[in-house]
């Protein structure tokens, strides 16, 4: 039976999900899958902010016992972004990734009776999981349920503000795939990233706001808002940096500033326009070689009044991988004073070249935590990984 586009007069599953109350999506999914696929049990598991566990969405207290986001059948479906079937004494448990335009949200787990799983059913369940993911993303405007379900503990106020700034943790199109990660996930302050894609361009920024806690978060929020305002006015990359610089300086008078890397990709050609306004660093992997993309270092946004910025260009080719890291990554020292630095970063990047961008970004932060010796990083760490495919034809 077609789970998403049922024959008339019965409304499609997608239409019924769309009509459901924001807080009732899981109950609606459970009912639809029971009616149309004979599902005996349905769970929606969402990835927590640290991408360490998958938490079931329930009511009161809104989440059940978590499962690993890296191990087991559900974790495997999340990591590989492919359906995973688990054989049970009574039937099978299908785990389907819930992903919205490249942003991995979690996993839909469906317990089906023996003999009910075939390739067509798995394909339809995958379509249903995608439709459910879109509705969960939309429902976040009207209910806190799914945001609460993602939390293993309380966010700091600064972290709450930062996560609301983000476009997501991933984005996928024909020309590219982006995966990004932030730590400490529950106490992030001044590091953030942003992107916007249109018919011909992708604009990507990674920002490191000075300071810690609320002060850093407020600075990052102002910088991101100013960059978005300039970008949406349709002006060039260098002028976007100039206007954001003026906004930050007007507020702080040079006492606080934000280091930002701005990149604009021409989707048809792979030509990248760049403004390096501070400390984030950019690396490129091509073939088996990892190199630092050397850009002209310019002043951070808001450091001086009316700073002028200039663009540089470089080229990406199909198969290239770009990795942007904030100063909290390349500038962190271990307890013995050893710098994480470019050498260790290159080692991590080399070891993760075959993994998807999401996992590479997470692995870089994981390597940083191991080097530092604690998950409680003193400085924020932001990593954005982009795989470039280019426009075909």
Kindly compute the dihedral angle of the four CA atoms of residues 370, 373, 378, 383, in this order, to the nearest 10 degrees: 0
Per-residue model confidence (pLDDT) at position 123: 94
Q: Residue 314: what are its φ and ψ, rounded to 5°?
A: -150, 170
pLDDT, residue 1, reads 46
Q: How confident is the model at residue 58 (pLDDT cuts 50, 70, 90)?
A: confident
Looking from the CA of 27 toward its CB, the CA atoms found within 13 Å total 10
- Gyration radius of the chain over CA positions: 22
pLDDT at 43: 96
- Determine the pLDDT at residue 319: 97
- pLDDT, residue 62, reads 60
Span of 160-164, 175-179, 310-314, 335-339 with lowest mean pLDDT: 335-339
Residue whose token pair is 């894609």: 197
| Dihedral sign from CA coordinates of 147, 166, 221, 188 | positive
* Span 300-328, average pLDDT: 95
Position 126 pLDDT exceeds 60: yes
**Rounded to 5 degrees, what are φ and ψ at 304?**
-130, 160
The pair of structure tokens assigned to 17 is 């999900």
User: How many whole angstroms separate alpha carbon 104 and alpha carbon 171?
Assistant: 9
Between 3-12, 162-171, 190-199, 261-270, the lowest mean confidence (pLDDT) is in 3-12
| In the predicted structure, residue 237 carries a pLDDT above the cut 60 | yes
pLDDT of residue 214: 95
pLDDT of residue 59: 72
Mean pLDDT, rounded, for 316-338: 83
The per-residue pLDDT for 9 is: 65
**Could you give the strand order of the β-sheet that contains 67-68, starting from the edge strand earlier in sequence?**
67-68, 53-56, 41-47, 103-112, 91-100, 84-88
Reading the block at residue 255, the tokens are 């006492």
How far is 121 from 99, CA to CA, in rounded Å?
A: 18
C-beta of residue 140 within 8 angstroms of C-beta of residue 167: no
Spatial contact of 165 and 224, defined as CB atoms under 8 Å apart: yes
User: What is d(CA 272, CA 316) in angstroms, rounded to the nearest whole number?
Assistant: 7
Of 221 and 377, the one with more pLDDT: 221
Take residue 261 and report the two structure tokens written for it.
């890397």
- Contacting residues for 292 by C-beta, under 8 A, at least 6 apart: 281, 282, 283, 342
In the predicted structure, residue 184 carries a pLDDT above the cut 70: yes
DSSP per-residue string spanning 61-97 = SSB---EESSSHHHHHHHHHTS-EEEEETTEEEEEEE
3-state SS, residue 274: strand
Percent of the chain scoring above 70 in pLDDT: 93
**Who contacts 246 (Cβ-Cβ below 8 Å, separation ≥6)?**
305, 306
In this structure, of 9-23, 48-62, 101-115, the range with the lowest mean pLDDT score is 48-62
Q: Does 273 score more than 70 pLDDT?
A: yes
Q: For residues 49 and 186, is the Cβ–Cβ distance under 8 A?
A: yes
**Residues 17, 28: contact at Cβ < 8 Å?**
yes
Compute the distance between CA of residue 97 and CA of residue 95 in angstroms, rounded to an integer.
7
The mean-pLDDT minimum among 54-63, 83-92, 95-104 falls in 54-63
Residue with tokens 């389907």: 96
Does the structure show a pLDDT above 60 at 60? no
């Amino acid at each position: 039976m077609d789970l998403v586009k049922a024959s008339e007069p019965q409304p499609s599953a997608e239409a019924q999900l769309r009509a459901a109350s924001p807080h009732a999506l899981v109950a609606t999914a459970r009912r639809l899958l029971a009616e149309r696929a004979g599902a005996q049990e349905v769970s929606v598991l969402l990835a927590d902010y640290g991408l360490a566990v998958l938490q079931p969405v329930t009511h009161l207290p809104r989440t059940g016992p978590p499962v690993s986001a890296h191990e087991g059948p559900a974790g495997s479906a999340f990591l590989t972004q492919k359906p995973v079937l688990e054989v049970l004494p009574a039937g099978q448990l299908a785990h389907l990734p819930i992903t919205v335009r490249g942003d991995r949200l979690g996993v839909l787990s469906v317990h089906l009776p023996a003999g009910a799983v075939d390739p067509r059913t798995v394909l339809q369940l995958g379509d249903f999981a995608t439709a459910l993911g879109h509705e969960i993303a939309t429902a976040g405007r009207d209910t806190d349920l799914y945001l609460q379900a993602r939390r293993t503990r309380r966010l700091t106020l600064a972290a709450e503000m930062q996560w609301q700034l983000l476009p997501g943790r991933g984005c996928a199109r024909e020309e590219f795939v982006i995966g990004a990660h932030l730590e400490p996930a529950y106490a992030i302050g001044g590091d953030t990233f942003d992107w916007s894609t249109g018919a011909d361009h992708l604009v990507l920024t990674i920002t490191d706001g000075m300071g810690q806690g609320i002060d850093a978060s407020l600075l990052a929020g102002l910088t991101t808002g100013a960059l978005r305002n300039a970008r949406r006015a349709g002006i060039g990359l260098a002028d976007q940096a100039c206007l954001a610089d003026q906004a930050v300086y007007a507020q702080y008078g040079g006492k606080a500033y934000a280091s930002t890397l701005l990149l604009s990709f021409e989707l048809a050609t792979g030509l990248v326009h760049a403004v390096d306004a501070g400390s984030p660093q950019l690396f490129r992997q091509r073939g088996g070689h990892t190199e630092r993309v050397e850009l002209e270092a310019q002043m951070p946004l808001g450091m001086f009044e009316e700073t002028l910025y200039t663009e540089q260009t470089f080229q990406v080719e199909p198969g290239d991988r770009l990795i942007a890291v904030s100063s909290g990554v390349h500038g962190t020292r271990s307890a013995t004073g050893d710098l994480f630095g470019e050498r260790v970063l290159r080692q991590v990047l080399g070891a993760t070249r075959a993994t998807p961008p999401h996992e590479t970004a997470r692995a870089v932060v994981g390597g940083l935590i191991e080097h530092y010796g604690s998950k409680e990083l003193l400085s924020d760490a932001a990593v954005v990984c982009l795989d470039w495919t280019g426009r075909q034809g």
